[in-house]
Amino acid sequence: MNKQILNLAIPNIISNITVPLLGMVDLAILGHLESASYIGAIALGGLIFNFIYAIFSFLRMGTSGFTAQAFGENNKPEIILMFGRSMLFAIAGGILIILFQYPIDILSFHLIEGSNEVEALAREYYYIRVYAAPASLGIMALSGWFTGMQNAKFPMIIAIVINIINVVANLGFVYGLGMKSDGVAYGTVIAQYSGLILGLFLFLRKYKNYFNFWIKKDFFNWVKLKRFFKVNTDIIIRTLCLIFTFAFFTVQSAKINDTILAVNTVLLQYLLVFSYLTDGFAYAAEALVGKFVGAGNLKDLKKTVRLLFLWGLYISIPFTLTYIFAGDYLLYILTDNINVIDAASPYMFWIGLVPLVTFAAFIWDGIYIGATASVAMRNTLIISTLIIFIPAYYLLREPLGNHGLWLAIMLFMISRGILLTLYSRKHIFTL
Tell me the per-residue pLDDT of 352-366, one tens digit each, with 9 for 90 and over. 888 999 999 999 999
Tell me if 161 sits within 8 A of 194, measured CB to CB: yes
What pLDDT does residue 360 have? 93
Strands (E), 163-304: none
- Average pLDDT value over all residues in the chain: 84
Tell me if 415 sits within 8 A of 383, measured CB to CB: yes
More confident residue, 24 or 207: 207
User: Per-residue b/e over 351-362, b at no fewer than 16 CB within 10 Å?
Assistant: bbbbbebbbbbb
Separation of alpha carbons 341 and 348, rounded Å: 11
Separation of alpha carbons 52 and 167, rounded Å: 23
Separation of alpha carbons 411 and 265, rounded Å: 19
Would you call 180 helix, strand, or coil by DSSP? coil
Tell me the per-residue pLDDT of 135-160, one tens digit each, with 9 for 90 and over. 999 999 999 999 999 998 999 999 88
DSSP 8-class letter at 389: I
pLDDT band at 420 (very low <50, low <70, confident <90, very high): very high
What ranges do the domains of the chain cover? 2-427
The backbone region for 91, taken as left when phi is positive above 0, alpha when psi lies in -120 to 50, beta otherwise, is alpha
Tell me if 284 sits within 8 A of 8, measured CB to CB: yes
Is the confidence at residue 381, as pLDDT, over 90?
yes
What average pLDDT does the segment 339-358 reach?
A: 85
Distance set, CA 154 to CA 200, 207, 277 (Å): 10, 12, 17
What average pLDDT does the segment 210-216 reach?
A: 83
Tell me the per-residue pLDDT of 107-127, one tens digit each, with 9 for 90 and over. 877 776 666 667 777 788 888
Q: What is the DSSP string of 276-336?
A: HHHHHHHHHHHHHHHHHHHHT-HHHHHHHHHHHHHHHHHHHHHHHHHHHHHHHHHHHHH--
What average pLDDT does the segment 188-217 reach?
A: 90
Separation of alpha carbons 181 and 175, rounded Å: 11
Number of Cβ within a 10 Å radius of residue 296: 10
pLDDT band at 184 (very low <50, low <70, confident <90, very high): confident
